Amino acid sequence: MASIPLFVNGKPARAARRLAWPAALAAALAGCSSVGPDFAPAPVAAPATWSEHHGGAAELAAPVAAASALPADRWGVFGEPELLRLQALAVGSSPDLKLAALHLAQARAAEATVSAQRGVRVAANAAAMRQRQSEYGASARLVGALGGPNQQHLLQELSAPYSQYDAGFDASWEPDFWGRIQRSEEAAAAASAQGAAALRSARLSVAAEVARSWFALRSAQDQIALTQRELGAAEQARALLQARFEQGLSDASALIDQRAKIAALQSTAPALQVQEALALNQLTLLCGLDPGALNRELAAAPAEGRPTLPDLRLGLPAELARRRPDIAAAEARLHEATAEIGVAVADLYPRITLGANFGLESIGSGRFGEWGSRQWSVGPSLSIPVWDQGRRRTTIQLRRLQQQEAAVAFQQTVLKAWHEVDDSISAYVAEGRRETRLAARLAEAGQQAALARARYAQGLASYLPVLATETTQIEARRDLDLSQTRRRTALVALYKALGDDGSDAALAAR
C-alpha cells in the first residue's frame, strides 16, 4: 500500500497536487454508508405449538398453552433447600464460570479497543542526545565537493561532539469513510454478545449438573436404605424357613431360594455404594471442593414427601430463540462474520489520515525553548492499495465463506434445540405417566401388606406372607423412587433445553 503525504511543513507537496482529486473524492464520499453486507437477524421458523415439532406418540407431547406456567424459581419446585445451597456454592466457585466471565471481560476490552480507533490519537515525544559524526562519513564527501583550503578544519568542526534536544507531539485522525471502523465495532460487539451468551450457558450448565448429581446421590442413598430394609425382611424370612426346615415342616428348597435372594440383594450393595460415591465426588468437584468435603453434610437422610412437579405449560415455541444461550451465541457469531466481510471490503479502498505534529529542535540547550527552534507539519496523507498479489480479495472470499459457515452452524444449533426440547418433553411426560402407575402399585402393595398383617394378627396365617408383602411393598417403593428421580432429571434436562432456569429473572429482580 502506497502512503503519500499531501502537505509538508504546511505547504502542498508536488505529489499532493497531482493526487488532490483522490482526496477530494474521498471527502465527497464521507457521508457514504459502510461497505459490506448489513446484518439481519436470522429467522427462526417456529411452530405454533410444541406438538407440531414432536416425534413419537402423540400423548407424550407437551400440552398447548399460550403462556408459560413454569415457576419463576425453577429449582424451588423440587423442595430441596440443600440443592439450592449447593447450586449457589457451585456458581460462586465453578472454574468454568470463572473462565466464561474472563472471556466476556476480554471481549468487552477488545470492543473498547476497537472503538478507540474513532478518536484522535496524540503522542508526545522528547529526546536528548549526545552524538558525533564521522570525519570520513557522508559529511566528508560533501565537504570535498565544496572544495576550499579549510576542508580539514571544516571536517573537524563537523565531527565535533554536540548535544541535540527534541520535544514535541504528533496527532492523527482517520475518518471512517468506508465504515471499516464501524464494521469492526459491529464485529467486536457481536463477540461480546457471544461471551455473554457463553456465560449464561455456563451458569445454566453448572446449575443443571449440580441438580443431576444431587438427584443421583439421593437416589443412591434411598436405594441403599431400601435394600437394607429388604435384606432385613429377607433375613427374617430365612430364619422362619430355617426353623420350619429344622422342624421337618418343609423341605430345603424354599430355604435355598431364600438364601439365593439374600445373596443377590447383598451383591447390589457395592454397586449402590459406588453410585453414591461418584455422585458425592461430582458434587464436590462442581463446588470446587476436595473429595470427601461434603460427606458429613450430605449423609443419607430419610426420604420425605416430595412436592408434585409442575405440568408442562411451556409457552410459545417462538420464545425458544430468545431463551437459549447457544442460539444467541450462534446468531452473534453470524453477526460477527457478516461484519468481518465489511472490514475486508473496506481494505480495498484508500485510507486518508489527517495528521499534525509540532516540536522544538535545537543543537545545545541554550536556545532550545526559543520560538525559532520550532518545526511543524500538518495535512492529510493518502494510502492507496495498489498491488498485494490478490491478498485482500482472497480475504473477502474467506470472510464470505466464514459467514456461510456461521449461517449453517446457526441453523444446526436451532435444529438441535428443537430435538433436545422434544426429547426432554417426551421423557418428562412419559415418566410422569409411569410414576402415576407406580404410585398406584405402591398403594395396592400397602393394602396387601396391611391385610397380611391383619390375618397374621388374627392367627389366620403365618408371618411369612407378611414378610412377602413387605418385600413387595419395598420393591414397589424402589421402582417409584427411581421413576421420580428420572422424572426430576428429565425436568432438569428440559430446563437446560429451554435455555432458561429462571436465574436470569432472579438476577434481574435483585
- Over the stretch 342-389, which tens digit does the pLDDT of each residue have? 999 998 999 888 989 888 888 877 777 788 888 888 888 888 888 888
* 430-443 mean pLDDT: 91
Q: How confident is the model at residue 316 (pLDDT cuts 50, 70, 90)?
A: low
For the cut 50, the answer to whether the pLDDT of residue 83 exceeds it is yes
Q: How confident is the model at residue 9 (pLDDT cuts 50, 70, 90)?
A: very low
Give ∠ CA 188-190-192 in degrees, rounded to 5. Answer: 75
What pLDDT sits at residue 192?
A: 95
Compute CA distances 237 → 222, 232, 466, 471, 496, whole Å.
Answer: 23, 9, 9, 10, 47
For the cut 90, the answer to whether the pLDDT of residue 109 exceeds it is yes
Summarised one tens digit per residue, pLDDT across range 455-478 is 888 877 778 888 888 888 889 999
pTM for this predicted structure: 0.78
For the cut 50, the answer to whether the pLDDT of residue 339 exceeds it is yes
Cell numbers of 247, please? 422342624
* 29-57 mean pLDDT: 74
What pLDDT sits at residue 22?
A: 45
30 sits in which H/E element = none
Nearest by Cα to 338 from 111, 182, 115, 112: 182
Residues constituting the chain: 510
* 183-191 mean pLDDT: 93
165 vs 368: CA distance, rounded Å? 7
Nearest by Cα to 209 from 72, 96, 103: 96
Using alpha carbons only, how large is the chain's radius of gyration in Å? 40
Q: Which of 7-11, 85-89, 234-238, 257-261 has the lowest mean pLDDT?
A: 7-11
What pLDDT sits at residue 503?
A: 65
Q: How confident is the model at residue 304 (pLDDT cuts 50, 70, 90)?
A: low
Provide the b/e sequence for 200-229 (b: ≥16 CB within 10 Å). bbbbbbbbbbbbbbbbbbbbbbbbbbbbeb
Q: Which residues sit opposite 390 in a β-bridge?
A: none
- Between 299 and 431, the higher pLDDT residue: 431
Q: Contact, 326 vs 199, CB < 8 A?
A: no
- Between 317 and 228, the higher pLDDT residue: 228
* The one-letter amino acid at 448: Q
For the cut 70, the answer to whether the pLDDT of residue 19 exceeds it is no
% pLDDT > 70, the chain: 86
* 83-104 mean pLDDT: 91
Q: How confident is the model at residue 302 (pLDDT cuts 50, 70, 90)?
A: low
Q: Which of 29-33, 51-55, 305-309 has the lowest mean pLDDT?
A: 29-33
The sign of the CA dihedral 91, 416, 314, 493 is negative
Q: Contact, 56 vs 426, CB < 8 A?
A: yes
Summarised one tens digit per residue, pLDDT across range 214-268 is 999 999 999 998 888 888 888 888 888 888 777 877 777 878 888 888 898 888 8
Q: Contact, 339 vs 38, CB < 8 A?
A: no
151 vs 148: CA distance, rounded Å? 6
For the cut 80, the answer to whether the pLDDT of residue 132 exceeds it is yes
Mean pLDDT, the chain, rounded, equals: 82
- Between 241 and 436, the higher pLDDT residue: 436
What pLDDT sits at residue 51?
A: 72
189 vs 104: CA distance, rounded Å? 11
